[in-house]
Amino acid sequence: MIAMTSDAAVKRAAELRDGLNRANRLYYIDQAPEISDAEWDAMLRELQTLEAEHPELLTPDSPTQRVGAPPSDGFEEVVHPTPMLSLGNVFDREELEAWHRRVSEYVEVDRFDMTCELKIDGLAIAIRYENGSLVQAATRGDGIRGEDVTANVRTIRSIPLRLVGDDVPSTLEVRGEVFFPISAFERFNAERVEGGLQTYVNPRNSASGSLRQLDPAETAARPLDAFIYSVSAFDGDGPETQSGILDALKRWGFKINSWSRVAADLDGVSTAFDAATADRPGLDYGIDGLVIKVDDLALQARLGTVGRDPRWATAWKFPAEQATTRLNQIAINVGRTGSLTPYAILEPVFVGGVTVSQATLHNADVIADKDIREGDLVIVQRAGDVIPQVVGPAPENKRGSDSKPFEMPDRCPACDSAVVPDDEDVVIRCVNGRCPAQAVRLLEHFASRGAMDIEGLGEKLVSVLYRQEFVADVSDIFGLADRREELIEIDRMGEISVTNLLAAIENSKKQPLARLITGLGVPHLGSENAELIAGHYLSLDALIDASLRANIWRNIPLEGDGGPDLIENLIGIEGIGPTIAESIRDWLGLYTNLRILRNLRNHGVKPPPIIKRDEDDLTLAGLRFVVSGRLESLSRQEAQGRIKELGGAVSSSVSGKTNYLVIGADPGSKYDSAIRLNVPVLEEQQFLDLLAGGAPGVTETVETRVPKSEAIRNTLFD
């Protein structure tokens, strides 16, 4: 109905929009308002009236359209056009120098400018503009897929709905960080307390909680803010440096963090880091370090990414945050193999963004080294996602006359039987085979993700089931199906959770043998060795058979039949040493364990049979792999399983003997080791190609080295 719209109305609407957008920018971004709130309100009302009279004038990027989208049931998935990356970390000048050296060597350039930006502690956001109008906003999610939070992002006043300037690319995707200002966070939490609502732990959590509200009006009611720091997709000519990008973003109407500065060398970066440390307490937003980016975009492109981390940037993190609190008690946790581990029960203290009330103390030696005692005032620290740690007594700590050094108990706190020191490690163990604490831990371990992966059967439920005598050993888990009605009666269980639990238990019956073996909790036997053992026995039946022989031998110790023979067979498996072989023999040789294995079989636990491959299929024979970081199309364990199926070996750390490091997201320090040792690095797709029988596509991100295996060498160089 454009014809019915008067030219005057069109013109006035445009004027009002421009005026409001400009006022908005001056107020929320430049913090230099030129008009009063009353003038702003009057303009907005006039525009609302005009748009109501002429609905055809209404555009989605109109300033009247920030709030107003109806609540939704959930968020749509958005696949990011290019992955949203994460960042590698450095913690000191030395590590920064190592990063700088790697960059220099990679591009063979000695000196390069670096942009230093504050690392905003909020949540990453990607926003897409078409012809200057905001069309979509998404959270980071797993970096590949995020959630569509467009309606909520539109309510953030410092994010422009419409861009300004004639050099705005027709399609533009920008990325930045949404945050909850600290001052506003404190006010907001205080209001929640008054309203009887749960408070948020820290500004970061509240930013994330606020952005993920299903009702945009709810998001609009919270004072979220955002800094934009990058352009992920560009068409046409653009700036040539990161600092140029920041300038362009600012010109187009985005709020950028003006603290950013360019450093010509490492001393410049150090100065910037010191300045950030000094400025931090005065900022109204949380920062957790400095982001250092190679300024030259052409250099950035040459450097590329490895896994999910760009080579061209790194984060220099602030040291762990510390706080002082009272160590109320040193308590003891009894593990699944009976190991007694001391842990600190602390007066709850807020540090590094969370409230800490417990921290492991590892063992008596650690406690002695740190010189901490019950009742001490101690320093607690937490860095980023790292688990909290007790550093030592606080300088102002005073001890009373009753203070005494900690001693490990000589009886198990769970079953009161005598404990014994383990010769091999510093651990003290409860060796009571019927210790309830051990039984519960073992059940937990059996159901855990790394073993049988039975969803819903966690720590709490396991304790309840054990205490109420539903389960005594792991095989009893599979008998629960017959006790459905009784289970429903358990406090907080109910029909649905029992149905889900029983379904999860039923599904787990088909878990691979290696997972089952891992779950049995044989001392010293981790998941990697469990793979090897599974590859040796191939079926549960064969394992039961070995247990039977080991039991017979235990009672009638003759040559062969489970004694020396069994051990020799086990030691014959590549990668299995004498300690583990003996541990397995001892475990299999216990009658209770034979009974557990048989009960598992009787309850229908049936791992799929393992099929041994022909020698010809073992395309990875002789190659040693390390897998690090999060992969997308398969889990790390699956990846390791595939390598082993094809005859390759898997180790947990990179050494000179490693042939390939396979990396996913956040590969961590293994990647650095690989570069240092010149070990070829495979990204996920290259790894998948290799599994499929091809050569790993040699791209820029792969440092090549001739692999040892003939099979691979042929595919690579034919």
Does residue number 383 form part of the binding site for ligand IVH (CB under 6 A)?
no
How far apart (Å, rounded) are the C-alpha atoms in residues 285 and 122?
9
Residue number, nearest CB to ligand IVH? 124
DSSP letters along 4-37, please?
GS-HHHHHHHHHHHHHHHHHHIIIIISS---S-H
Q: Which residue has the tokens 């709810």?
A: 218
Of 11, 119, 255, 612, which is the active-site residue?
Answer: 119
Q: Measured from the CB of residue 261, what is the shortest distance to ligand IVH in angstroms?
A: 12
Q: Measured from the CB of residue 126, what is the shortest distance to ligand IVH in angstroms?
A: 10
Asked if 378 contacts 358 with a C-beta cutoff of 8 angstroms, the reply is no
Candidates 151, 313, 437, 581; binder of ligand IVH (CB under 6 A) is: 313
Candidates 47, 85, 412, 534; binder of ligand IVH (CB under 6 A) is: 85
Does residue number 107 form part of the binding site for ligand IVH (CB under 6 A)?
no
Asked if 610 contacts 538 with a C-beta cutoff of 8 angstroms, the reply is yes
How far apart (Å, rounded) are the C-alpha atoms in residues 384 and 251?
34
How far apart (Å, rounded) are the C-alpha atoms in residues 40 and 554?
89
Task: Tally the residues of the chain.
Answer: 718
Q: Measured from the CB of residue 138, what is the shortest distance to ligand IVH in angstroms?
A: 13
By CB under 6 A, which span of 52-60, 83-91, 264-272, 573-581 interacts with ligand IVH?
A: 83-91
How many CB atoms sit inside 10 A of residue 580's CB?
21
Q: Measured from the CB of residue 283, what is the shortest distance to ligand IVH in angstroms?
A: 13
DSSP letters along 480-501, please?
GGGGHHHHHHSTT-HHHHHHHH
Does residue number 310 form part of the binding site for ligand IVH (CB under 6 A)?
yes
Q: Measured from the CB of residue 114, what is the shortest distance to ligand IVH in angstroms?
A: 12
Q: Measured from the CB of residue 257, what is the shortest distance to ligand IVH in angstroms?
A: 7
By CB under 6 A, which span of 69-77, 307-315, 661-669, 686-694 interacts with ligand IVH?
A: 307-315
Asked if 534 contacts 514 with a C-beta cutoff of 8 angstroms, the reply is yes
Question: What one-character DSSP code corresponds to residue 65?
Answer: G
How far apart (Å, rounded) are the C-alpha atoms in residues 561 and 567?
10
How far apart (Å, rounded) are the C-alpha atoms in residues 106 and 100?
10
- Number of residues forming the site for ligand IVH (CB under 6 A): 15
- Of the pair 121, 645, the CB lying nearest ligand IVH is at 121
By CB under 6 A, which span of 179-187, 247-255, 309-317, 646-654 interacts with ligand IVH?
A: 309-317
- Of the pair 89, 438, the CB lying nearest ligand IVH is at 89
The site map against ligand IVH for 588-607 (x = CB under 6 A) is --------------------
- Of the pair 87, 269, the CB lying nearest ligand IVH is at 87
Asked if 236 contacts 292 with a C-beta cutoff of 8 angstroms, the reply is no
Q: Measured from the CB of residue 135, what is the shortest distance to ligand IVH in angstroms?
A: 21
Question: What one-character DSSP code corresponds to residue 267?
Answer: H
- Of the pair 177, 645, the CB lying nearest ligand IVH is at 177
Asked if 139 contacts 212 with a C-beta cutoff of 8 angstroms, the reply is yes
Tokens of 201: 């732990």
Q: Which of 170, 162, 174, 217 has its CA nearest to residue 20?
A: 162
- Of the pair 177, 684, the CB lying nearest ligand IVH is at 177
- Of the pair 230, 243, the CB lying nearest ligand IVH is at 230
| Residue 374 CA: distances (Å) to CA of 143, 325, 393 | 44, 12, 10
Q: Measured from the CB of residue 185, what is the shortest distance to ligand IVH in angstroms?
A: 17
Q: Measured from the CB of residue 241, what is the shortest distance to ligand IVH in angstroms?
A: 14
Question: What one-character DSSP code corresponds to residue 144?
Answer: S
Q: How buried is 564 (Cβ within 10 angstroms: 0-12 exposed, 13-18 middle, 19+ buried)?
A: middle
Q: Which of 637, 651, 589, 641 has its CA nearest to residue 613?
A: 641
Amino acid in the structure at residue 577 = G
- Of the pair 13, 315, the CB lying nearest ligand IVH is at 315
Q: Measured from the CB of residue 328, what is the shortest distance to ligand IVH in angstroms?
A: 35
Does residue number 65 form part of the binding site for ligand IVH (CB under 6 A)?
no
Q: Which of 50, 80, 96 has its CA nearest to residue 672?
A: 96
By CB under 6 A, which span of 310-318, 331-339, 570-578, 618-626 interacts with ligand IVH?
A: 310-318
Site for ligand IVH in 112-151 (CB under 6 A): 117, 119-120, 124, 140
Does residue number 645 form part of the binding site for ligand IVH (CB under 6 A)?
no
Instruction: Name 338's Cβ contacts closer than 8 Å, sequence gap at least 6.
Output: 412, 419, 429, 430, 431, 432, 435, 438
Q: Measured from the CB of residue 145, what is the shortest distance to ligand IVH in angstroms?
A: 15
DSSP letters along 66-133, please?
SS-PPP-SSPPEEE-SSPPP--EEE-SHHHHHHHHHHHHHHHT-S---EEEEEEE-SEEEEEEEETTE
Site for ligand IVH in 209-238 (CB under 6 A): 229-230
Candidates 23, 291, 379, 650; binder of ligand IVH (CB under 6 A) is: 291
By CB under 6 A, which span of 85-93, 442-450, 523-531, 542-550 interacts with ligand IVH?
A: 85-93
Q: Measured from the CB of residue 97, what is the shortest distance to ligand IVH in angstroms?
A: 20
- Of the pair 246, 379, the CB lying nearest ligand IVH is at 246
- Of the pair 140, 644, the CB lying nearest ligand IVH is at 140
Q: Which residue has the tokens 């091809």?
A: 694
Q: Measured from the CB of residue 86, what is the shortest distance to ligand IVH in angstroms?
A: 5
Candidates 57, 69, 87, 414; binder of ligand IVH (CB under 6 A) is: 87
Asked if 255 contacts 227 with a C-beta cutoff of 8 angstroms, the reply is yes
- Of the pair 315, 477, the CB lying nearest ligand IVH is at 315
How far apart (Å, rounded) are the C-alpha atoms in residues 698 and 680?
10
Does residue number 177 form part of the binding site for ligand IVH (CB under 6 A)?
yes
- Of the pair 121, 376, the CB lying nearest ligand IVH is at 121
By CB under 6 A, which span of 47-55, 308-316, 609-617, 621-629 interacts with ligand IVH?
A: 308-316
Is residue 119 part of the annotated active site? The answer reads yes
Does residue number 86 form part of the binding site for ligand IVH (CB under 6 A)?
yes
Does residue number 315 form part of the binding site for ligand IVH (CB under 6 A)?
yes
How far apart (Å, rounded) are the C-alpha atoms in residues 54 and 65?
15
- Of the pair 85, 96, the CB lying nearest ligand IVH is at 85
Helices (H) and strands (E) in the chain, counts: 25, 24
- ∠ Cα 466 445 381 (to 5°): 110
- Of the pair 127, 584, the CB lying nearest ligand IVH is at 127
Question: What one-character DSSP code corresponds to residue 397?
Answer: -
Report, as residue numbers or ranges, the catalytic residues. Answer: 119
The residue ranges that bind ligand IVH (CB under 6 A) are 85-87, 117, 119-120, 124, 140, 177, 229-230, 291, 310, 313, 315
